[in-house]
Amino acid sequence: MSGSQGPPPDRSERLMLEIQDLHKYFGDLHVLRGINLSVKVGEVVCVIGPSGSGKSTLLRCINHLEVAQRGCIRIDGQIAYRDGNDEKSRAHSNRRIAAVRAEVGMVFQHFNLFPHLTVIGNIVEAPVHVLRRSPEAARRRAMELLGQVGLADKASAYPEELSGGQQQRAAIARALAMDPKAMLFDEATSALDPELIHEVLSVMRDLAERGMTMLVVTHEMNFARQVAARVIFMDEGRIVEEGTPQQIFGAPSERRTQEFLRNVLGH
């Protein structure tokens, strides 16, 4: 797979993710300060920024691992969360939260595989118990996905028998087994040894080429430069700047973006 040919063309003008005026507090700490962001169907958007800027919290709010105090989130046109007086729009019921998580897959920094289950056991667990698929159908789909991420020969292995890169690829297959409409990646390579990072980035590039809608928090600047359609720079809970990779990495307009990239890239 070639990651050097740039992102695929936009496949749709339809919005898959819409975030409006999102605010999140942890006590007195205002972590997200009015985030407005949209991601089109088939688009890859990378989010960069310093530690503590709110990047991971943003993803966790989309997937209902955190509850925002204010704002609105839509997934494929449907309200997934809204604050205010319209209680019917608040997606706080366990059933609705499960539905949101089924529509938006998430891959974490740490792999979070169940250690007592085999690789294929990890992948079929949610489709069988959440989507109510038959074990046979779930296993067939799991094997397809393991082939896609290069782990077909590891179906019967346990997580402790895998390298970090293999565990993260298994985690990606597990998220894809729910047939999500979009994928969220939260620093998916940051816990890996440097020589294993390319394994996971290769799978993510393949997903982008297949047209998966992706919102990716990453410190891998080359990946963002090569694969993203847009790059978002966040700092102190706000989106400071966004644009194409050429704009953000070649001629950022905001001083804070310039400082961050100078520190990260060394020039």
User: What is the pLDDT at residue 48?
Assistant: 97
pLDDT for residue 108 is more than 60? yes
| Distance in angstroms (rounded) separating the CA atoms of residues 34 and 44 | 22
- The DSSP code for 190 is T
Q: Is the dihedral of CA 176, 179, 183, 186 positive or negative?
A: negative
Rounded (5°) CA angle 104-106-108: 170
Rounded (5°) CA angle 16-21-27: 120
pLDDT for residue 39 is more than 90? yes
| Distance in angstroms (rounded) separating the CA atoms of residues 88 and 38 | 23
Kindly list the distances between the CA atom of residue 220 and the CA atoms of 36, 92, 188, 189, 194, in Å, as whole numbers in the listed order: 23, 34, 10, 8, 11
Tell whether pTM > 0.85: yes
Residue type, 75: I
Q: For residue range 46-77, what is the model confidence (pLDDT) as tens digits?
A: 999 999 999 999 999 998 889 899 999 999 98
User: What is the pLDDT at residue 2?
Assistant: 40
Buried b (16+ CB within 10 A) or exposed e, 187-219: bbbeebeeebbbbbbbbbbbbbbeebbbbbbbe
